[in-house]
A = this chain, B = another copy of it.
Amino acid sequence: MAATLRDVAAHAGVSIKTVSNVVHEFPHIKASTRERVQASIDQLGYKPNISARSLRSGRTGVIGLALPELSLSYFGELADAIIQAAERRHLVVLLEQTGGGDRDREIAMLSSPRLQLTDGLIFSPLGMSSADAALLNVGYPMVLLGERVFGSPVDHVTMHNVEAAKAATLHLISRGRRRIAVIGAHEGEVIGSAVLRLQGYREALSEAGIPFDPALVGNVGLWHRRDGAEAMRAMIDSGVTFDAVFGLNDALALGAMRVAQVAGLRVPEDVMFIGFDALDETKYSLPTLSTIDPGRDEIADTAVRLLVQRIEEGVTPPVPEVYLADFTVIDRESSAL
């Protein structure tokens, strides 16, 4: 069906290898030959067979991207950014979903044969922990995202979670709030974004001389809108008073903000809100949601850049690189004075 190197070679009256050389822009080719071969390529519509190339050269031009769920806006926007960054480097992305924090599934995915035709993997776990770090010592290039696994042998792109969460909390404090609830903690966990952001929250409180009140911590299962809504309802029902809410991500904050308003609280007058992630929808909620911009494009671009570097250099780095993206506080209606 499709034209092969052999067909082009016959058509142009040269050897197969010469055609291959033209395709790969090898130096020593006469201009006239190059033109003739190129003409044949165009005429026959030759496209290299990637399977064959990959079999021979070991490269596919495909990178894997494994993340929990695309239906969560955060991961949808992240995937968008990563696919664009990959495209800029002439790579395509093969997408694998691992579900909402299923550790076993994440680990199984790491050795899935589906990754065979992939040059490397960008992996955003949600269920694994630092105890599993050694499992990331897989035989192929990998870049890690997120805050679940530290001390692994692979490059890691993440963000200043503690500092950003602290900034978010200080933002509310600077607006005069002292009873700041936090929604999205994971009870009993010692690692992950929830823990780090909670730590930032506590650091901000202590810096401002505000005592930490465990009654103001809303625990959740996942970080969906639904969980934020449920946690807010529970907190309101518990009778605890608060004048601000820090949602550990935007989905939680949005779910919580709705419930607070339904319960008759005015935002921002009675309760201020801030989230984390800078999702597009935070610009259109009522009121618009203040949030932390985690520098998604920067994260995406860096992840792809590091992965390409590892693919080209071969094997695991002696000292894995850890990259921390910059963040910004976005001040919107939900925390306006």
Shortest Cβ distance from residue A251 to the other chain B in the assembled complex, whole angstroms? 8
Spell out A's residues near B (CB within 8 Å). 1-2, 47-52, 54-55, 60-62, 69-73, 75-77, 79-81, 83-84, 87, 92-97, 113-114, 116-117, 139, 224-226, 229, 254-255, 257-258, 261-262, 280-281, 283-286
30 A/B residue pairs, CB under 8 Å, sorted by A: A1-B139, A49-B116, A50-B113, A51-B52, A51-B60, A51-B116, A55-B55, A60-B117, A62-B117, A69-B80, A70-B79, A70-B80, A70-B83, A71-B76, A71-B77, A73-B73, A73-B281, A76-B79, A83-B95, A83-B97, A92-B96, A94-B94, A95-B95, A117-B117, A225-B280, A226-B283, A226-B284, A258-B285, A281-B281, A285-B286
A96 vs B281: C-alpha distance when bound (angstroms): 23
Given A71-B77, A80-B97, A226-B283: 14 more A-B contacts, CB < 8 Å: A50-B116, A51-B60, A51-B116, A54-B117, A70-B83, A71-B76, A71-B80, A84-B97, A225-B284, A254-B281, A261-B286, A281-B281, A285-B285, A286-B286
Shortest Cβ distance from residue A50 to the other chain B in the assembled complex, whole angstroms? 4
For A48, the chain B residues whose CB sits under 8 A away are: 113, 116
The answer to whether A70 and B70 touch across the interface, beta carbons within 8 angstroms, is: yes
Question: Could you say how many copies of this chain the assembly holds?
Answer: 2
Q: Out of B51, B71, B96, which one reaches A117, CB within 8 Å?
A: B51
Main secondary structure of the interface of A (DSSP, over half): helix
Residue of B nearest to A333 (CB): B262
For A117, the chain B residues whose CB sits under 8 A away are: 50-51, 54, 60, 62, 117
For A61, the chain B residues whose CB sits under 8 A away are: 114
The answer to whether A70 and B60 touch across the interface, beta carbons within 8 angstroms, is: no
A1 vs B315: C-alpha distance when bound (angstroms): 12
Shortest Cβ distance from residue A38 to the other chain B in the assembled complex, whole angstroms? 16
Shortest Cβ distance from residue A245 to the other chain B in the assembled complex, whole angstroms? 15
Shortest Cβ distance from residue A242 to the other chain B in the assembled complex, whole angstroms? 19
A255 vs B283: C-alpha distance when bound (angstroms): 9
Most buried by B among A51, A61, A225, A285: A51
A224 vs B281: C-alpha distance when bound (angstroms): 10
Shortest Cβ distance from residue A290 to the other chain B in the assembled complex, whole angstroms? 15
For A255, the chain B residues whose CB sits under 8 A away are: 284
For A70, the chain B residues whose CB sits under 8 A away are: 70, 76-77, 79-80, 83
A92 vs B62: C-alpha distance when bound (angstroms): 12
Shortest Cβ distance from residue A305 to the other chain B in the assembled complex, whole angstroms? 19
Shortest Cβ distance from residue A79 to the other chain B in the assembled complex, whole angstroms? 5
For A62, the chain B residues whose CB sits under 8 A away are: 94, 117
Shortest Cβ distance from residue A184 to the other chain B in the assembled complex, whole angstroms? 15
A61 vs B62: C-alpha distance when bound (angstroms): 14
A321 vs B6: C-alpha distance when bound (angstroms): 37
A285 vs B255: C-alpha distance when bound (angstroms): 8
- Given A83-B95, A97-B84, A285-B258, is A51 in contact with B47 using a C-beta cutoff of 8 Å? no
A114 vs B51: C-alpha distance when bound (angstroms): 11
The answer to whether A94 and B97 touch across the interface, beta carbons within 8 angstroms, is: no
